[in-house]
Structure 1
Amino acid sequence: MRKLVLFLFLLLIIKAEAFSQDNSQMNQNLVQFSGVVVTTDSLLPIPFTSIMIRNSYRGTISDYYGFFSFVARMGDTIEFSALGYKRMNFVIPDTLSDHRCSLIQMLAKDTVLLKEVVIFPWPTKEQFKEAFLQLRIPADDIARAQRNLDSDQLGILGAMMPMDGNMNFKYQMEQQSSRLYYSGQLPPNNLLNPIAWSKFIQMWQNGEFKKK
C-alpha cells in the first residue's frame, strides 16, 4: 500500500513539473503585438481594420486612429484586412529578445474598375413631352380597390363558381356540425351502409351514371 501511494505521489509530482514547464515555455512565446495601420500614399490611419491570427479565431480590430494591441505568439501569421484595401500578412519573428513587437502596417487601396455606362438624353423637348404625356401613372390603392370590386367583374367570377355564397355557407356549417357530432369517435363508413348500397344499385339499374 505504501509503495502504491508513493508511486502515485511521484507521478503527480512529475506531471505537475511537466505542466509547469509547458506553461513556462508557452509564456515565453507570448508577445504583446501592437502597432498602427495606415495608408501607403498619405499615411492616414485606417480605422476598424480587421487584424486576425491565421487559422484561429483570435484577433482584434483597430480603433478610430488605426491603433491596435493584443497578445500573440512568436511565429504567428497576422492578417490585415479592411474594406477598400488589399490584404496584407505579417509574420511575428521567433527571434525576439523581448516580449513586445511593434509594427506600422501600410495597406494599399484596392481599386475596382466598373463597366462604362453611357447615358443618352432625349433627342428633343417635344419627344420628351410626348413620352411623358403617354406615361401610365400607376393607380393608387383606392383605384385598385374600385377595379377589383367592379360589379360586372364580380358577376363573371360568381357565375364561374360551382356554388354560390349561400351554398358554401351551408356546406361549411354541415361539415362543422358533422365533426362536432362525431368528435371523439370514429365517423361512419358508408362502404358498410346497406341503404347507401341499395341506392347505388338502384341508380346503376336506372342508368343514371350513363346519363352523366
Structure 2
Amino acid sequence: MCIGKKYRLVLRGLLMLVFAWSITPLSANAQDSAKVVQFSGYVVTPDSLVGIPFVNIRVEGKNRGSYSNADGYFSFAAAAGDTVMFSCFGFEDDRYIIPSALNSNKYSIVKLMTEDYAYLDSVIIYPWPTREMFRAAFLDLELAESDVDRFLRNMEREYLQEMAEALPMDAQENADRYLRAEAQKYYWAGQAPPQNIFNVFAWAQFIEAWKRGDFKRRR
C-alpha cells in the first residue's frame, strides 16, 4: 500500500513537470512570434501640420522608444500590437496602438498632437521694492512733454513770428522784394518821395497809439 501510494505521487510529479515543460516553450514562442516592424512617421500639429520637434516616444511597458527630430520625424524598431506613448511639453499626451496584423515589416503614420495650454496668473512687476519708494518716485515724477503740448507751443504767435524773422528769404522772396523796390522808384521818378515825418495821417496814428499805450506794452 505504501509503495503504491509513493508510486502515484512520483508519477503525478513527473506529469506536472512534463506539463510545465511543454507550456514554457509555447509561451516563449508566443512572445517571440510578435512581428518586429520599423515604426516611423511624423508628429505634427493638427491645424497647420507643422512638425513638432523633440517629442518623447516610448513603448508602454517596455524599455524601448525614441524621440522626434527637429522636423518631427521619428523611426525605431517596435513590435506589432505595441502601445506607443507620445508626450511633449505644450501638448496633450497621446497614444497609438500598432496594428497586430501587418503585411510588411515597415509601418508609418502621421501623428497629430493637440496643443495643451497652461494659463498662469498675471504678475505685475514694479521697479520699486517698497510702497514708500514708489510714493517718493511718483511725487518726483516729471511727465514728458506730450505731442499736444508740443503742437500748442509751436503754434504760438510769438514763436511763429520769431521763426519768420530768423528765417532767411529764398530766391523768390528776394526777387519780389527787388521788383517792389524798383516799382517804388519808378513811381516817384522825377520828384522827391514824401517823408512820413511830414505826413499828417502818420502823426495822427502815432498819437492814437500813444494814447492806447502801445509803446508801454512793447516795453
Shorter-normalised TM range: 0.3 to 0.5
Report the TM-score, using the length of structure 1 for normalisation: 0.46
Report the TM-score, using the length of structure 2 for normalisation: 0.44
